[in-house]
A and B are shown apart, each in its own frame.
Chain A
Amino acid sequence: MLNAVAKDLFFVLITVLFFVIAWAYVRGCDRL
């Protein structure tokens, strides 16, 4: 079982991860 802090960190990380992917998507769309 993950504790609350680890879960908080997990959800913050997956949020940031999405936006990192979205920025890569911006760069990809620019080159496409």
Chain B
Amino acid sequence: MTSMGLLQILLFFLIILALTKPVGAFMARLFEGERTFLHPVVRPLERLVYKICSVDETAEQHWTHYAGSLLAFSLAGILLTYLILRIQGMLPFNPQGFLGKLWTPDLAFNTAVSFGTNTNWQVYTPEATASYFAQMVGLAVHNFTSAAAGIATAIAVVRGFSRRSADSIGNFWVDLTRATLYLLIPLSLVAALVLVSQGCIQNFRAYDKVATLEGGAQTIAQGPTASQEAIKMLGTNGGGFFNANSAHPFENPTPFSNFLQVLFIFVIPAGLTYTFGKMVKDTRQGWALFAAMSIVFFAGVFVVYPAEQSGNPNLTKLGVEDAATATQAGGNMEGKEVRFGIPASALFAVVTTDASCGAVNSMHDSFTPLGGMVPMVNIQLGEVIFGGVGAGLYGMLMYAILAVFIAGLMVGRTPEYLGKKIEQKEVKMAMLAMLILAASILLFAAGGIVVHLSKNAWINPPGAAAILTNNGPHGLSEMLYAYSSATGNNGSAFGGFSGNTPFFNTTMGYAMLIGRFLMMIPLLAAAGSLARKKMVPVSAGTFPTHGALFVGWLVGVILIVGALTFFPALCLGPIVEHFLMNGGKLFSFLIPGVWS
């Protein structure tokens, strides 16, 4: 590891630490219905939205109504996007003349679900498939709304802890509107302009056709990139305007834009920990979650960075110079951009999978086995290390419920968290959310590996459309990562696996839906149950949840639960691959079409 690399990671963390309180305090005021500095400008617009949509902003919802509103809103958005993609040829802002038939029904389903669930798994090639209208109205709008829905859900779960003897947890439509108008749109406006200053493009013109120095012709894709790029990171969405995502120079032109993009991913999720503390009237509780998240974050970074900087020992044995020098990055640079190097690629990979972002600036498939395992584990833990906007916080609160429950079992006391007794209902709901996630990842991945359908069936048409490019444990990692990414609503691709067939598009689409909604619903149910409870006074037997002991315990629960659930699968994938690599065994590139 280099001193510049370490400095970059430290600087990143210090900036996030500094932004957590102001961003979190702003969100706490916003969602508690207090006045913010943006009210003079945004409040009239907010009122207009309520008027048009017939929303009574003073009306509160029972948790079932809150969840019903979330489901109805998401269903409508997904169906609208499906329609836009299928008829894009008839819609404006389409200078390349892309037709709707480029979107097969299964691909349109997969993509609509992907953006509607904040996953942004992209099995299509945006610059060769999607019109500007489809990208902006069909996809980028979801970047705002799905992120806002995640924030709204997290705030509703927090209200479960902060309210006493209440039958409601807020109003979904109000939370959604406020998250979008006061938070995501203003931040995205500023971020997009900063990205434009770095060279990120923003236009509506047709693609450029240029002659290369060798005399050939090349098409250079254009489009409104900066506006999508900003919310892609801030909303932890991750869907690239171009296929290469944040490795593309028009999306992520400079090392500075790269540093900003990583900051954008964490700024809202980190701020939400402080929002949580403010709303439960004890900011130490928020900082305790922040500390637990930070410990797991650093653990991930300091596995990936050294693993990538060490590179592949088999190349060292062949005499390849892999040390970092003034003229080369050293280590494992396969699949990484030269302008970013190893530390910025390692940091990006960890942050994008700690959060449910899924944007990539390097190809995770080309990482060393341990370097590639960390992003996968981050997703499998539920992306609670700061996490997706909202999703990270409610995921971490799920672990907190389990942590106090297990601690309560050990000492024989009824567990409490933030003055609320954690009883049968909350534990059932937390376990349901946890099991749904694990079952979807493991069962779908197992099915993806073993199910071989007839080549002539509609569900698996002829041709090399579904490919695993590696055999052995690396091939298993590719499939396991794909379903982890889908279920975890991350959307990053390990690479190496191409699954644009009806079978994979359908099963991945369902994995995304299950991972999003069947995890959110039990947590909203737990919030509804908690909101109805009275506060229990602190006693000598109360387990303090703002100290180092609880932070350590919470980290332990996260890692132990994750390890117990996914360790066997990881042993068959990246862990065995690591030992085999050190023993000199590498896995060949499969000829496309051999596997499907």
Residues of A with Cβ closer than 8 Å to B? 1-2, 4, 7-8, 10-12, 14-16, 18-19, 22-23, 25-27, 29-30, 32
From B63, B82, B425, B525, A11 is in contact (CB under 8 Å) with B82
- What residue in chain B is nearest A29 (Cβ atoms)? B525
A14 to chain B, nearest CB (A): 7
Residue of A4, A14, A22 with most partner-chain B CB within 10 A = A22
Enumerate chain A residues within 8 angstroms of B429, measured Cβ to Cβ: 29, 32
B509 to chain A, nearest CB (A): 8
A4 and B64: CB pair below 8 A? no
- What residue in chain A is nearest B425 (Cβ atoms)? A32
Residues of B with Cβ closer than 8 Å to A? 63-64, 67-68, 71-72, 74-75, 78-79, 82, 86, 104-106, 108-109, 112-113, 425, 428-429, 432, 458, 506, 510, 513, 517-518, 521-522, 525, 528
B157 to chain A, nearest CB (A): 13
- What residue in chain A is nearest B104 (Cβ atoms)? A7
B79 and A30: CB pair below 8 A? no
A26 and B105: CB pair below 8 A? no
A26 and B75: CB pair below 8 A? no
A27 to chain B, nearest CB (A): 7
A12 to chain B, nearest CB (A): 7
A15 and B428: CB pair below 8 A? no
From B64, B82, B428, A12 is in contact (CB under 8 Å) with B82
- What residue in chain B is nearest A30 (Cβ atoms)? B64
A14 and B506: CB pair below 8 A? yes
From A2, A4, A12, A26, B71 is in contact (CB under 8 Å) with A26
A18 and B105: CB pair below 8 A? no
B303 to chain A, nearest CB (A): 36
B109 and A22: CB pair below 8 A? no
Which 9 residue pairs of A and B lie closest in terms of their CB atoms, listed nearest first? Answer: A7-B105, A29-B525, A11-B109, A19-B75, A26-B67, A22-B517, A18-B513, A11-B105, A8-B105
B521 and A19: CB pair below 8 A? no
Query: How far apart are the CA atoms of A11 and B521 in the complex, in Å?
Result: 23
Query: How far apart are the CA atoms of A25 and B525 in the complex, in Å?
Result: 10
Q: List 27 A-B contacts (CB under 8 A).
A: A1-B458, A2-B458, A4-B105, A11-B105, A14-B506, A15-B75, A15-B78, A15-B112, A16-B75, A16-B79, A18-B513, A18-B517, A19-B72, A19-B74, A22-B513, A22-B517, A23-B71, A26-B64, A26-B67, A26-B68, A26-B521, A29-B429, A29-B522, A29-B525, A30-B64, A30-B528, A32-B425
A12 and B521: CB pair below 8 A? no
Query: How far apart are the CA atoms of A21 and B178 in the complex, in Å?
Result: 29
A15 and B109: CB pair below 8 A? yes
B514 to chain A, nearest CB (A): 8
Enumerate chain B residues within 8 angstroms of A16, measured Cβ to Cβ: 75, 79
Enumerate chain B residues within 8 angstroms of A12, measured Cβ to Cβ: 79, 82
A15 and B432: CB pair below 8 A? no
Enumerate chain A residues within 8 angstroms of B82, measured Cβ to Cβ: 11-12, 15
Residue of A4, A25, A26, A32 with most partner-chain B CB within 10 A = A26
Also in contact, A32 and B428, with CB within 8 A (given A25-B518, A26-B521): yes
- What residue in chain A is nearest B516 (Cβ atoms)? A22
B465 to chain A, nearest CB (A): 16
A19 to chain B, nearest CB (A): 5
B224 to chain A, nearest CB (A): 28
